[in-house]
Amino acid sequence: MSSDVRIQLLSPRLANQIAAGEVVERPASVIKELLENSLDSGARRIEVDVEQGGVKLLRVRDDGGGIAADDLPLALARHATSKIRELEDLEQVMSLGFRGEALASISSVARLTLTSRTADAEQAWQVETEGRDMQPRVQPAAHPVGTSVEVRDLFFNTPARRKFLKTEKTEFDHLQEVIKRLALARFDVAFHLRHNGKTVLGLHEAHDDVSRARRVAAVCGAAFLEQALPIEVERNGLRLWGWVGLPTFSRSQADLQHFFVNGRTVRDKLVAHAVRQAYRDVLFNGRHPTFVLFLEIDPAVVDVNVHPTKHEVRFRDGRMVHDFLYGTLHRALGDVRPEDQLAAPAAVSGMLAPTGQAAGEFGPQGEIGLAASLLEPTPHESVWRSPGAGYQGQRSPGGVPAAEAQGAYREFFSPLPASPVGLPEAQGDVPPLGYAVAQLKGVYILAENVQGLVLVDMHAAHERITYERLKVAMASEGLRGQPLLVPESLVVSQREADCAEEHAAWFQRLGFELQRLGPESLAIRQIPALLKQAEANRLVADVLADLLEYGTSDRIQAHLNELLGTMACHGAIRANRRLSLPEMNALLRDMEHTERSGQCNHGRPTWTQLGMDDLDKLFLRGR
């Protein structure tokens, strides 16, 4: 360092502007901090007024507890907060804001006015400050109990930062998204948003299941609620509740994923991994699941002070949280049956009827429903759709010839049962998927149920049924290991070698045998027999990386499932095969009792419903 460069303290104004760079990125960042303060103050109604996307004006008014007159100047000071006192408070934070820097950072890059009144005060008081001098001015004012914060001319004194803002619409969309997320986190608070004098959002308090469902529909769209499963599970001090979208209601982007920990919005890679793992078997490649989920956990075992924006958290026992999330969602998706999918839209329509159009007004555009999500077939699928095309000579991902792979599980590939199945006239109750009436082009089954017409992709449906039976057989028989004639050596880090030793018994159950040769080397002596053609080195290395990152790994199971899926695809009924009515009905009954039968192994829908209303619209009946 040059001798003429001296170290000196930054001025308070410059220090605040630097701190503002961490907290205040755009108008949406400001609204997040202001709304969190309002929620922490006990507000039950929050009104937000915005002009020009928030750059010209942001005004937040609440009916919370207010701020005492003597504390108003302190409210704009750095490292001043009413939410923590001791280090112990930081270890179990329940409030949304606690750093004591938000208002100071905002006031350093904007013109800020704060007006507040407590319940026991005779009148309200107001404090003003601007980025230039940072000197607060306090004066009496008129205001009901609660607080109003007005932020004008954002970045007026930092023009370089202002240049990086996007268009008014883009900035407002970001701001609106913040309000929607907080509205999902706090059903007990009413939110009202106006932009350039026009009402955009009006959400009343939601204290029961029906009103909470209405708010979710208003924020996420009624289509999401129609294609979502309600979840509520509590175990080992963890509680998970909310709504998780069916695999067929997937999206091209991860823009309908809301996860809350103790009421705080978080984006956590451990959570994302657990959700992705739960959807692995049922989601089409490249699609993203949808969910609104709330995790309640002891505040002492989760650290929310990881990042200035408080979007990230760190769990003390990450593996327990991961396994709880994965297990809960995996079971919920596996338990879905056709009758659940058929009942949900009708139930939701009844719930949302009183709200009229409000549900769709604020929801994201372009939701993908069950029928609309019939995506283009992958190249893998197009093979069997071609007349006369077969799988002779094809190999599974693990390199095992199809015929050899089927040998161990021959019983799963027998023809469909031809035993007579009762027709509608002989049945008291019509099953969810109804009764087959015809077969179309040797590809689709047409069935009639209570709602109307059911279309079934017979190959995809039978593929899922066969796949699930193979998985059950694999779980009951276990994995047989095959010793390698020449053990493969693997160079790893010391942490990875320690991890392999620690999880040796787990690897053994999965058919692997690993031996430590040195501080940073392993020998692979045995691999699962079904994966004998897999790249053992790469697979073990990836598994160890997962174990270190998440405390768990599903890569081995994923490889095995991929192989079983290919075997199921070979064993499923082919296109252009003519089925009798009893055979078609047998397939429908199997679908009704098979896990995840709504999607094939590749994540595409296996069936769709066309109700009488849908058919009437096609033919303009009743108009």
- Check which CATH number belongs to the domain holding 197 and give it: 3.30.565.10
- Specify if 179 maps to a domain: yes
What's the CATH number where 257 sits?
A: 3.30.230.10
Q: What is the pLDDT of residue 102?
A: 76
Q: What are phi and psi of 494, to 5 degrees?
A: -65, -35
Q: Give yes or no for a contact between 250 and 259, defined as CB atoms under 8 angstroms apart.
A: no
CA 545 to chain centre: 23
Boundary (domain end) residue, out of 169, 201, 233: 201
pLDDT along the chain (623 residues), means of 10: 69 64 80 90 94 95 90 73 54 54 81 92 89 72 94 87 89 95 94 95 92 93 90 93 91 91 87 90 87 92 68 82 93 87 70 47 32 32 31 36 44 50 55 94 93 94 88 72 87 90 82 89 85 75 80 72 72 80 94 91 88 91 79
- Specify if 170 maps to a domain: yes
Q: Cα–Cα distance between 17 and 234 in angstroms, integer?
A: 44
- Specify if 370 maps to a domain: no
- For residue 513, what are the β-bridge partners? 526
Burial of 529 (0-12, 13-18, 19+ CB in 10 A): middle
Q: What is the pLDDT of residue 395?
A: 36
> Could you tell me which residues come within 8 angstroms of residue 531 by beta carbon, excluding any fewer than 6 positions away?
398, 511, 539, 556, 559, 560, 563
Residues 479 and 619 in one domain: yes
Residues 614 and 485 in one domain: yes
Residues 448 and 420 in one domain: yes
- Specify if 236 maps to a domain: yes
- Specify if 367 maps to a domain: no
> pTM of this prediction?
0.72
Q: Cα–Cα distance between 434 and 608 in angstroms, integer?
A: 12
Residues 612 and 476 in one domain: yes
Report how many domains make up the chain.
Answer: 3
What's the CATH number where 528 sits?
A: 3.30.1540.20
Q: What is the pLDDT of residue 283?
A: 86
Residues 430 and 493 in one domain: yes
Residues 353 and 244 in one domain: yes
Boundary (domain end) residue, out of 157, 178, 201: 201
Q: What is the pLDDT of residue 324?
A: 95
- Specify if 418 maps to a domain: yes
Residues 186 and 218 in one domain: no
Residues 454 and 320 in one domain: no
User: What CA–CA distances, in Å, run from 224 to 59, 200, 248, 257?
Assistant: 31, 20, 11, 11
Q: What is the pLDDT of residue 407?
A: 47
Residues 283 and 305 in one domain: yes
- Specify if 3 maps to a domain: no
Residues 464 and 347 in one domain: no
Report DSSP letters for 523-571, one per residue. Answer: EEEEEEGGGTTS-HHHHHHHHHHHHHHHS---HHHHHHHHHHHHHHHHH
Residues 227 and 163 in one domain: no
Residues 537 and 599 in one domain: yes
Q: Cα–Cα distance between 259 and 302 in angstroms, integer?
A: 15
Q: What is the pLDDT of residue 391?
A: 30
Domain span including residue 163: 12-201
Burial of 25 (0-12, 13-18, 19+ CB in 10 A): middle
What percent helix, strand, coil does the chain show, rounded to 5? 40, 20, 40
- Specify if 368 maps to a domain: no
Q: What is the pLDDT of residue 602?
A: 80
- For residue 128, what are the β-bridge partners? 113, 137
Q: What is the pLDDT of residue 435?
A: 95
